[in-house]
Structure 1
Amino acid sequence: YKDIKRLKESFLEFASNTKYKVFGCGDDLNTKEIIKLVDGIPYGFGKENKIRADNFYFDGRFSCFDLIIEDKFINNIKIPLLGRHNVLNTLSVLGFLFYTEKDLDKAIYCLKDFKGTKRRCQVKEKINSITFIDDYAHHPTEIHNTLEALRLLSPNRLFVIFQPHRFSRVKALYKEFGKCFSCADELVITDIYPASEEPIKDIDVNLLLEEIKKNFLKPLHYVSKEKLKKIIPELIKEGDFVVGLGAGDINILMDEVIDEFKKVGFKKES
């Protein structure tokens, strides 16, 4: 898609061809606009949504909220998943079940044991006081939401390793990437994962670093893909959540970092 206008037109066409009801996040302005045009059902945290979450909190294990549909309290919901973004995902499913007259109570009961999917705040390994986490987040909003959710666990620090995905995505969103890491305490950017793309002139890690520096005033590093397993164990500290983010092969790179950390441990203070 060349611009947001064409993207919205495509989603509007898709929504218009839906035979039953369209559900969309009413908290997102672009989605909200499409939902109105197709007489769809919005969900979210905002009071104007037909399906909404109220009184959200994290109790140390569960994300908890009141499920409200058409301004009526339905039930208190508990999900063993972190963050407001997972609450939004849950709202969409529960709303669909409600409007298609499925067994909502059974779904609510089953939610408490739902473990989520791989590569979504997936704990890869815990070694002493260090927790290594892998997440597929590769868009700015995803990244912010994931790090905000991990903050709920009160880590000593969030040490983040981000592998950008696709040159075209960096070109389109580098300004947004510059603002999405505020929840991190230390940030490492590694090489762009090209997927199927050829490099684009002037679109590289340096562009991303310069934009991030405008907003992120905490420790920031570039580490090449090949050197991650050597450098990362030298930077992390006791109590850190070491979080790998991206849609490329960052999960494999994290395995290499973990293996190296097992060998060398913490860097000794001089």
Structure 2
Amino acid sequence: MAAGLPTAMDRPHFIGIGGAGMSGIAKILAQRGAKVAGSDAKESATAEALRALGATVHIGHAAEHLADDATCVVVSSAIRADNPELSRAAELGIPVVHRSDALASLMEGLRPLAVAGTHGKTTTTSMLAVSLSELGLAPSYAIGGDLDAPGSNALHGDGEIFVAEADESDRSFHKYAPEVAIVLNVELDHHANYASMDEIYESFETFAGRIVPGGTLVISADHEGARELTSRVSGGPRVVTYGEAEDADVRIVSIVPHGLKSEVTVLLDGEELTFTVSVPGRHYAGNAVAALAAGVALGVPAAELARALGAYTGVKRRLQLKGEAAGVQVIDSYAHHPTEMTADLEAMRAGASGRILVVFQPHLFSRTQELGREMGQALSLADASIVLDIYPAREDPIPGVTSELIVDAARVAGAEVTPVHDKADAPTVVAGMAVPGDLVLTMGAGDVTDLGPRILDRLQSK
């Protein structure tokens, strides 16, 4: 069963079309036959991938980029009110649609599966997209990261299932009405939008309340915040818990690491089921079990889905191997919250034979202000770290908030840490530290990912 094209989306214009969330929606619309256009701040492989689908992509933001016949303008919460294309839309009377509303419209008439949580959304959504595709179910999907090539973060499939990453950062996941929803964990993050854990819980409660009648909430039995949420939504949708906890409905019996893979055994409906997870770390094994439970809730046979989950080999920026030079592996991590940082460092420690060296770039001033101490503590799990200046993304600086907060906390925790204020210097510093057998982890949600190839080049020329 294929979904059609919403009339208001015939000729959409995306402001910030190259972003992870925006580009996915644009891609699906283009594949459904829409005349897609948009703009982005800089040229990228994603922009090229969209052009290959017939989209018009302008570089830079200017009023003249918005065509008079556009049926809507799609924006994310990151777009500022003074954007010239947004101002032009107001002049022309063109409706402005939030990214989440556009995504919600694409799910209409299908069986939506929405993946939420403070951490692990992209990985879990990707696992479902890959495994359901492997089974020939032809799902549509929209993910916050590329699977294996630029622009592979979304696809319009001919099947009836739509798998979507559900973003809590700006409460936009309240727009979806899933048949099955996953909540991986619930922690305080996105401090510019949430002042307390109570606000976070209220937001996730609203999301859970959007599950359609007869639908299912799949939620962790291991994470404290998720268990609290479970107690708050009792009497709502059918709840299926998963995890290592003894009372989990889908209980993880064992996770046995094998290099950069794991063998996972679960107890499901009274029977044990063992399958391979082709990425390292307990947290990725847990994500796979969440995906398994959600697929089963949609009616996918458990044994078939478990086998297909082994086909998932990772997503860009989620412990992605960038290469090896001079006996040193360079791996890229999107981790930017202390919990994510700890999980990725523990996963790398389990599979590494030599030292772990981290190049960490803090993401957002607000996050650093609230969680800088915990970030520093997480870096103590590495053998040595370089800490770059804060990547501001959409935020303006906060007086007194710098990466030195993390450096100081890391040193208090006993970590060996070096501040580097010019990102261009980082490859030389890393190359001077690394020896054969070491593993270098570039870590953060900003442009630290660009350093991987440069570090490899510098290592090669040692």
**TM-score under structure 2 length normalisation:** 0.55
* 1:160 matched to 2:358: yes
Aligned residue identity for 1:12: E
Contact between 1:23 and 1:35, CA under 8 Å: does it hold in 2?
no
C-alpha separation between the residues in 1 aligned to 2:352 and 2:406? 28
- Aligned partner (choices 280, 297, 306) of residue 108 of structure 1: 306
Q: Does 1:9 align with 2:207?
A: no
Look up the match of 1:62.
261
**1:241 aligned partner:** 439
Q: Report the 3-state secondary structure (helix = DSSP H, G, I; strand = E; otherwise coil) of the residue aligned with 1:212.
A: helix
Match of 1:26 in 2: 221
Check whether the contact 2:242–2:248 (CA below 8 A) recurs between aligned residues.
Answer: yes
Distance (Å, rounded) in 1 between the aligned partners of 2:426 and 2:300: 48
CA contact (8 A) 2:364 2:392 kept: yes
Q: Which amino acid in 2 is paired with 1:148?
A: E
Alignment of 1:1-270 (within 5 A): 1-19=194-212, 20-39=215-234, 40-69=239-268, 72-215=270-413, 217-224=414-421, 225-263=423-461, 265=462
| Cα deviations by residue, 1:63-94 (Å, 9 ceiling, x for unpaired) | 11211125x23311211110111111111111
- Return the alpha-carbon distance in structure 2 between the equivalents of residues 73 and 87 of structure 1: 18
Higher alpha-carbon deviation: 29-38 or 236-245: 29-38
Distance 1:232 1:62, change over 3 A: closer
Query: What residue number does 2:111 align with?
Result: none
**Root-mean-square deviation (Å):** 1.5
Q: Could you tell me the TM-score, scaled by structure 1's length?
A: 0.92
The one-letter amino acid paired with 2:220 is: C
Partner AA of 2:426 in structure 1: L
Alpha-carbon distance between aligned partners in 1 of 2:267 and 2:233, rounded to the nearest angstrom: 22
Aligned-partner SS, 1:173: helix
The alignment-based identity, stated in percent, is: 28
Query: 1:128 deviation in Å?
Result: 3.4
Q: Is the 8 A contact 1:22 1:38 kept in 2?
A: no
In the other structure, the counterpart of 2:158 is: none
Residue 111 of structure 1, CA deviation: 2.2
Structure 2 equivalent of residue 268 of structure 1: none
Distance 1:235 1:148 in 2: 21
What CA distance in whole angstroms lies between the structure 1 residues aligned with 2:361 and 2:233?
Answer: 37
Which amino acid in 2 is paired with 1:156? G
For 1:180, what is the secondary structure of its paired residue?
A: helix
Q: Deviations over 1:132-168 (max 9, x none)?
A: 1001111111111101111121321001111100001
Name the larger-Rg structure.
Answer: 2
* Separation (CA, whole Å) in 2 of partners of 1:243 and 1:154: 11
User: Following TM superposition, by how much is the alpha carbon of 1:208 offset from its aligned partner in structure 2, in angstroms?
Assistant: 1.5
Moved over 4 A (4+): none
1:61 to partner: Cα distance: 4.7
Does the CA-based 8 Å contact 2:243-2:251 persist in structure 1? yes
1:94 counterpart letter in structure 2: L
- Deviation digits for residues 34-86 of structure 1 (CA, Å, limit 9, x no counterpart): 1232242221111121112112111235211211125x233112111101111
Q: Which amino acid aligns with 2:210?
A: N
* Native 8 Å contact 1:137 1:246 kept in 2: yes
Structure 1 residue 179 displacement after superposition: 2.0
Q: Secondary structure at the match of 2:264?
A: strand
**Contact persistence 1:174–1:211 (CA under 8 A):** yes
Output the CA distance in 2 between the equivalents of 1:130 and 1:204.
Answer: 30
Question: Which piece of structure 1 moves more, 182-191 or 33-42?
Answer: 33-42
- TM-aligned CA deviation for residue 124 of structure 1: 0.3
The Cα shift of 1:255 comes to 2.0
Aligned residues: 262
Whether the 8 Å CA contact 2:326–2:460 is kept in 1: the answer is: no
Partner Cα separation in structure 2 for residue 221 and residue 41 of structure 1 = 45
